[in-house]
Structure 1
Amino acid sequence: MEKAQIVYDDFAKVEIRIGRVVAVLPFERARHPAYKVEVDFGPFGRKWSSAQITSYKADELVGQLVACVVNMPPRNIAGFSSEILILGARDAAGEVKVLTPTHNIEVGEPVF
């Protein structure tokens, strides 16, 4: 389903930055299978996310570059404060795959 069109100023409010996954922990209390994921944004610090990206093994995610929305307020998910949104999309098999740059981008760099 397509969403309503927005103007550029609406999109410009969304801050998307590249980060590197540094830790992945199980999240047993989540309603749907998920991990607790720590992402390093370099000069912008480290932030945590609850992410339904369990089609990956935890060790496959560590070290991976990911695109994240970083300017939303924290969201309480089963008692865990999720500070960022790791961006992803479903593949042909229906598994969520993270959006990652094809080149080595410095952590903290904005996506525009």
Structure 2
Amino acid sequence: MVSSELGNQMQKTAENSTRHVNEFEEAQLTPIPSDLVKPMRVKEAPIQMECRLEKIIPLGTDHLVIGQMIRYHIQDQYYLGNYKVNLEKLSALGRYAGNYSVSTEFFTLPK
């Protein structure tokens, strides 16, 4: 998950670049080792997920990447306990049709 505070860095890492570009350096983020997978995590991210690749599906000029989450890391100040995240404090970014929005209002729907 990306908090609104990391929006500009997220955008920088989403740019098309060659495989030789270090996205951590370009976005001025700090890499830290993962526990179970080879790719590094982003230290500054309030929530980090380690995933194993399941499948890559070509979709036109893009790809849909499907992974299995195998480890979840969350900074203490965002954890409410009982597997709940403080979404208001996280201020997560969402992407809608190429535009971004900060998630600030949450509600439940009847089951």
Length-normalised TM-score, structure 2: 0.22
Question: Looking at both structures, which has the greater relative contact order when contacts are Cα pairs under 8 Å and sequence separation is at least 6?
Answer: 1
User: Who wins on radius of gyration, i.e. which is larger?
Assistant: 2
Length-normalised TM-score, structure 1: 0.22
Larger % of helix: which? Answer: 2
